[in-house]
Amino acid sequence: MTDMFLISLIIGLFSYWFFFRKKKEEVPEFTKIQQTTSFSSSSGGDSNFVDKMKKTGRNIVVFYGSQTGTAEEFANRLSKDAHRYGMRGFGADPEEYDLSDLSRLSEIDNSLAVFCMATYGEGDPTDNAQDFYDWLQEADVDLSGVKYAVFGLGNKTYEHFNAMGKYVDKRLEQLGAQRIFELGLGDDDGNLEEDFITWREQFWPAVCEHFGVEATGDESSIRQYELVVHTDMNMNKVYTGEMGRLKSYESQKPPFDAKNPFLAPVTKNRKLNQGGERHLMHLELDISGSKVRYESGDHVAVYPANDSTLVNQIGEVLGADLDTIMSLNNLDEESNKKHPFPCPTSYRTALTYYLDITNPPRTNVLYELAQYATDANEQDRLRKMASSAAEGKEFYLSWVVDSRRNILAILQDMPSLRPPIDHLCELLPRLQARYYSIASSSKVHPNSIHICAVTVEYETKTGRLNKGVATTWLKNKVPNENGNKSLVPMYVRKSQFRLPFKPSTPVIMIGPGTGIAPFIGFIQERAWLKQQGKEVGDTVLYYGCRHEKEDYLYQEELTQFHKEGALTQLNVAFSRDQAQKVYVQHLLKQNKEGVWKLIHAGNAHIYVCGDARNMARDVQNTFYEIVAEYGNMSQPQAVDYVKKLMTKGRYSMDVWS
């Protein structure tokens, strides 16, 4: 009791002193340090883009939803254009900013938000625009006073052409924002570059008219980055191909994603075809101990490396020391993007792992390079191709795009064009990850991911041999050569291409060529479920190739699955083994009554994987015909029936063009 009394007395005296003591002096008030969200190493960490624009005197923000880097490239080009109209802009990744601040944009005079939005897969937003898309769907915000414009990047061979661009354009208007220029719809199946240029050359006059400004006439090239050469750099601080954290390839730490890929050893690399000119291959990547998880139907992304021969040739043509250690630092200190690629690094590393040197360069690259051509004729040709004139566009299309001239071919065919290698590295787009449908089931192969791919190799109109970056690189990934592991930087991208929740639901799979990949995983999983005693519905495959004796992929495995009953039907079309070509859609027509029963009575799920331009469209048209005939429907009713299957998730596509 005495102890309790003493404790109470001490607490009472302390409280009296604390609350009633005479304050001798004012305690200065300190401003709390605001906590900011931590982004990637390139981020400045400030998620309020409106405050940033006020602070840096900018009035145009160009957001991009980009999966392969093209939308980001277009956004940066638009933001650079702004200075020609006495305005200031910047390109912004919506993943790094709080888009709910959009309603405050009107606080800035003559402000404008531009959105370059790519559509990924079957009408989906790109990874970096997913949060923005979710916010737009749920937002109950008044955007009146906000001015905007949208350019969409899509591909007409896909069912949901430019779905993301169309949605953003429509939704912003619904929320009260004012569209100041019409929606642009770029088509990658045609000429995306030309679509963008055509839109852009009409967009800026509309901006000028709306805000009452005029072009400054300043067409000069503006460098975005400055070169810093490091002569005594500690090599432990130099990037050697890592995508994010320095030395991340030496000390691997999960979780693994696009900015932190896992180095997976190649345990198997075998040729799948028995003959023919093409090389089709099956690779197995070991993911043991990585905590990387995947499901059948997911995609594996791999970061390839450019051919060292091409890299060396660029160095030779430009007379550059490729082993020089350098950094390209953004001249705009407020920019979230400090470097165009991880720096410091060597030119060799940049050209090998970070830059796209095999695709034909876009017109903005030619425009910037033109100043370095000492021959007047060559300089004129470059400027002409970069112009918006019809003749210039035609010349660019024939000389660069159709001839598949990459940057090395352009340098070789224009002997007077010798730009500084640092400016070339600034201009070239980033080398992107390549996505492959996973050809295995994690139920059967929890510690490995399988890839099925065909090497890309063709002769151009100029007589050069062009090779696909990733497939050529993968082809040379030989398991444990001389005791050295062949490693592939990779991560898994989740997909909507999923087996039905109930194993008893029938599935119809259509996948010619390498489109067979996800279905190998599906069949493995259905076979495994059957072994577990589960009731598994009909598993039907329509596969196609050119010749039975040449490129029938996974023939032994498929025959065995069919023999064991895991594969209920195995329908194979050999397109060139007879006078008249036979494709998967022809086999569907032959079995049309059974196909209709599975769909209508069996509630089957349909899966299509492969070429989007012809196969996927022809298969879809075949389903329209089957539904119309056996469902006693008109053509519009049949189309509506199939579209509803898609909406319900019963008709899924994993296609590419």
Quote the CA–CA distance of 246 and 249 in Å, as a whole number.
8
Give the per-residue pLDDT at 612: 87
| Residue with the two structure tokens 């329509």 | 542
Count the Cβ atoms, other than its own, within 10 Å of residue 33. 6
**Is 263's pLDDT higher than 50?**
yes
Residue of higher predicted confidence among 455 and 31 = 455
Class of domain 306-427: mainly alpha
Q: Is 609 a catalytic residue?
A: yes
Q: CATH number for the 49-211 domain, one of 3.40.50.12780, 3.40.50.1820, 3.40.50.360, 3.40.50.11540? A: 3.40.50.360
Kindly report which listed range (84-88, 174-178, 229-233, 492-496) carries the lowest average pLDDT score. 84-88
What is the C-alpha separation between 140 and 597, in angstroms, rounded?
45
pLDDT of residue 1: 44
Given 169, 286, 422, 654, the catalytic residue: 654
The predicted pLDDT at position 533 comes to: 96
Alpha-carbon gap, residue 205 to 70, rounded angstroms: 23
Specify binding-site residues. Answer: 66-71, 118-121, 153-162, 188, 278, 404, 434-437, 452-454, 458, 468-471, 514, 575-576, 581-585, 618, 656
Q: Smallest Cα–Cα separation from 534: which of 454, 450, 634, 443?
A: 443
**Catalytic residue chosen out of the listed positions 93, 609, 611, 652:** 609
Check pLDDT > 90 for residue 20: no
Q: Average the pLDDT over 215-234 and give the result.
A: 85
503, amino acid identity: P
- Return the higher-pLDDT residue of 286 and 215: 286
CA 18 to chain centre: 61
Residues 6+ apart with CB under 8 A from 174: none
Judge whether residue 574 has pLDDT over 80: yes
Average of per-residue pLDDT across 437-443: 98
Average pLDDT, the chain: 91
Instruction: Answer yes or no: 116 catalytic.
Output: no
Distance between CA atoms of residues 421 and 346, nearest Å: 11
Confidence of residue 535 (pLDDT cuts 50, 70, 90): very high
Residue 376 has pLDDT above 50, yes or no: yes
- Lowest-pLDDT range of 122-131, 208-217, 559-568, 582-591: 208-217
Q: Average pLDDT in the 572-601 region?
A: 95
- Which of 358-367, 474-483, 636-645, 647-656 shows the lowest mean pLDDT across its residues? 474-483
Question: Does residue 126 register a pLDDT over 90?
Answer: yes
Residues marked as binding for NADP(+)? Answer: 278, 514, 575-576, 581-585, 618
Taking residue 28's Cβ as centre, other Cβ atoms within 10 Å add up to 5
pLDDT at 83: 87
Asked if residues 86 and 216 have their Cβ atoms less than 8 Å apart, the reply is yes
pLDDT tens-digit readout, 388-403: 899 999 999 999 999 9
Q: Do domains 49-211 and 254-304+433-495 have the same CATH topology?
A: no
Yes or no: say if 336 and 76 are a contact pair by the CB < 8 Å rule.
no
- Res. 236 pLDDT band, cuts 50 70 90: very high
Asked whether the beta carbons of 281 and 263 are under 8 A apart, the reply is: no
- Respond yes or no: is residue 545 known to be catalytic: no
Q: What's residue 277's pLDDT? A: 87
Mapped onto helix, strand or coil, the DSSP state of residue 597 is helix
Among 164, 174, 170, smallest CA distance to 182 is for: 170
Please state the residue numbers annotated as binding site for FAD.
404, 434-437, 452-454, 458, 468-471, 656
Tell which CATH architecture fits domain 507-655. 3-Layer(aba) Sandwich (3.40)
**Binding-site residues for FMN:** 66-71, 118-121, 153-162, 188
Instruction: Tell me the pairing of strands 605-611 and 448-454.
Output: unpaired
> For the chain, how far is it from start to end, CA to CA, in angstroms?
85
| Spacing of C-alpha 140 from chain mean position | 29
Q: Where do the domains of the chain lie?
A: 49-211, 254-304+433-495, 306-427, 507-655
* Burial zone of 482 (CB within 10 Å; 0-12 exposed, 13-18 middle, 19+ buried): exposed
Structure-token pair, residue 224: 């975005």
Low-confidence winner among 324-338, 556-570, 598-612 (lowest mean pLDDT): 324-338
Mean per-residue pLDDT for 241-266?
96
Please identify which of the residues 437, 441, 486, 652 carries the catalytic annotation: 437
Mean pLDDT for 172-183 is 97
Could you give the CA distance from residue 648 to residue 122 in angstroms, rounded to a whole number?
14
8 A C-beta contact, residue 484 and residue 476: no
44 has a pLDDT exceeding 90: no
pLDDT over 70 at 412, yes or no: yes
For residue range 296-328, list pLDDT tens digits in order: 999 999 999 999 999 999 999 999 999 999 999
Exposed/middle/buried for residue 478 (C-beta within 10 Å: 0-12, 13-18, 19+): exposed
Q: Give the pLDDT of residue 187.
A: 95
For the four alpha carbons of 438, 443, 444 and 448, in that order, the dihedral sign comes to positive
In terms of Cα–Cα distance, which of 641, 620, 609 is closest to 159?
620
CATH 2.40.30.10 fits 254-304+433-495, yes or no: yes
Report whether pLDDT(238) > 80: yes
What share of the chain has pLDDT > 70, as a percent?
A: 92
- Identify the pLDDT of residue 435: 95
Model pTM score: 0.89
Sort 613 into a burial class: Cβ within 10 Å, 0-12 / 13-18 / 19+: middle
Q: Is 39 exposed, middle or buried (0-12, 13-18, 19+ CB in 10 A)?
A: middle
> What are the DSSP calls for 113-171, one per residue?
EEEEEEEETTTEEPGGGHHHHHHHHH-----TT-EEEEEEEE-TTSTTTTHHHHHHHHH
Q: Is the pLDDT of residue 32 over 70?
A: no
The answer to whether 654 is a known catalytic residue is yes
What is the pLDDT at residue 219? 67
CA distance readout (Å), 627 to 631, 640, 648: 5, 10, 17
Confidence of residue 220 (pLDDT cuts 50, 70, 90): low
